[in-house]
Amino acid sequence: MNPEAALHTVEQQLEKVSAALLAADPLQLEQCCAQLRLDLATLAQASSALKGQPWPEALRPRMQALSSRLAMQRDQLARLGALVDRQVASILPPAEQTPTYGQPGSQAARIYRSST
């Protein structure tokens, strides 16, 4: 797949993720995010086909817009996760006190670590 087609596929899937977020449909969101990860991997493979050459000038603004949208959605998901944590904590007391951004000395924020 060429980089432009892969980029278009990622852009379309990102639209589906946005729609699932707005619809507050967790099953749809999970499916869309899984497909987005696959599409991003395909985009990474397609970009390796450039063999060290810079992205075509016409695609750079789209890549920058995609990067901004991905960062915005990651922030929205983190906020949504914090909201759900608060709602659950209002019903059930937390088993242990854990700060949102991890324990002092931990390497990654809690939102980036698995719960296991």
- Give residue 40's pLDDT: 92
Q: Specify whether the CB–CB gap between 21 and 29 falls below 8 A.
A: yes
| Count of residues making up the chain | 116
How high is the pLDDT of residue 37? 93
The C-alpha angle with vertex 82 and arms to 38 and 15, in degrees rounded to 5, equals 35
Q: Provide the residue-wise pLDDT of the chain in tens; the chain has 116 residues.
A: 788 898 899 999 999 999 988 888 889 989 999 999 999 999 888 888 777 787 788 888 998 999 999 998 888 888 888 888 888 888 887 666 666 665 555 555 555 555 55
pTM exceeds 0.85: no
pLDDT of residue 113: 53
Name the amino acid, one letter, at 19: A
> Cα–Cα distance between 76 and 82 in angstroms, integer?
10
Q: Could you state, in order of their start, the residue ranges of all structural domains in the chain? A: 3-89
pLDDT of residue 68: 93
Other beta carbons within 10 Å of 102: 15
